[in-house]
Structure 1
Amino acid sequence: MDRADGAGCAVVDADRLATFVRQVLGPPPTWRPMPPGYPDSLALAVIDGIWSMGVRYKAVENVVGRYRRHRREAGGDPNRDGVRELVQHYEQVGGPERFAEQVDNRQRVSTHPGAVLKAEAVYRAGLSLQAVGIETCEQLRTAATGSDKARVKSVWLAVPGQASGISWRYLLMLAGLPGVKPDRMIRRFVARALDRADVPPEAAGCLVEKAAELLDVSPTSLDHEIWRHERA
């Protein structure tokens, strides 16, 4: 019987995925460089982490770009903003509704009736992280790799639209920790590699991580190369 963990992550499937990666994406030295993320700006990591769920990434780039512009116009440095600066900016502009107007984006966390604006979810995420003493990416990295991980993760999952845990994984990646964001693009690639109709998020994330070990690359690098290929 193939060894597997609780996520249904069998070694034989990870090996099949690694072989598929070599065939489709080519050898790792040919892959494009990874984007740097936001290792010094938890504000940008929170915005990107929540806004990127279920939308074309160009919309996220536009939101991040507009936030950066407005913060610079106000004399701030968005590339070093923590959640304190993010929450203060919300309060200065008049709250989530006004923030949505400022970044010209009223997307919601889901298509369900009554779903909150992503602008609202970002604000609540900032407040929630502050409540558990997380202000910066450095503090998040420390908490997410230590004994406080479960508590910090739980407050993030309680933010509207974030219960699946996918944005939590992505937040940590944007903040500088290695990982995989098992969104629809990653799941689609893994399902194709295994000749399946679908692969659950946790299993897809685990398989990409194990395939990265077999390929001797970081899981973040493999995640990004898969995402770039699927996006194209």
Structure 2
Amino acid sequence: MNIDKQLVSQRFGRNLATYHEQAVVQRDIADTLASSLLAASPALHIRRAMEIGIGTGFLTRHLLAACPEAEWHLNDITPEAFRWIDELGHPGAIHYHPGDAETIPYPESLDLIASASAVQWFDDIPAFLAKAHAALVPGGILAVSTFGPENFVEIRHILNRGLEYPTLETLRQWASQTGYRILHAHGWTRRLTLGTPLDVLRHIKKTGVNGTRSETWNRRTLADFHTNYNTRYADPEGNIPLSYHPIVLILQK
């Protein structure tokens, strides 16, 4: 599907503060991506690096701490994100690159490109893999997390729309075809437990991850969503699940 990048930027920009508070799964994914990177490449020496889709800095904090001497190039489609990094007070060299990571130029001769919970918004992930490959030095690392087909499966089944997520095997094939060596690749599922179907909508809004299209809700559509979600997914205690399906890849050029 074609993603409305302007809508993505607007919604994340409006919800960065609540994203930082509410995006518990994305925070845990960033932690896992950082630990997977360090485990897969313990002797990695980083001189120049880029992070794509910094958000409020869940992954950035790990990267800056692990590689304080590196020259960092940080990107986000939402310019408001950069103030979250300014508040860290990092003493090293940081360059900001606002804009759509699929279209902006990347710096050359990078030792590392990292991205947590961002590339699912891309229109062409294979093209991104090739673009990152060209920007990396030989032996450079691409560390990325995205989401698999079970992500938000409840909402997609009820509304019959949403992002299209590749499988782990498809991502591995794309990476290999691009010329990467796969150092690490795994996926898992996590289900948040929420109170009501309306809490699901509030959670999605507060984390800004509803940027695929403009949605007009009215009393009837909200009632239908509430009824369908409860009927299909509520547990015996009336709790409501929301599924996440993270995938982590550590790739070497």
Q: If each structure's strand is expressed as a fraction of its own residues, which one has the higher value? A: 2
- What TM-score range do you get, normalising by the shorter chain? under 0.3
Q: If each structure's helix is expressed as a fraction of its own residues, which one has the higher value? A: 1
Q: What TM-score do you get using the length of structure 2 for normalisation?
A: 0.24
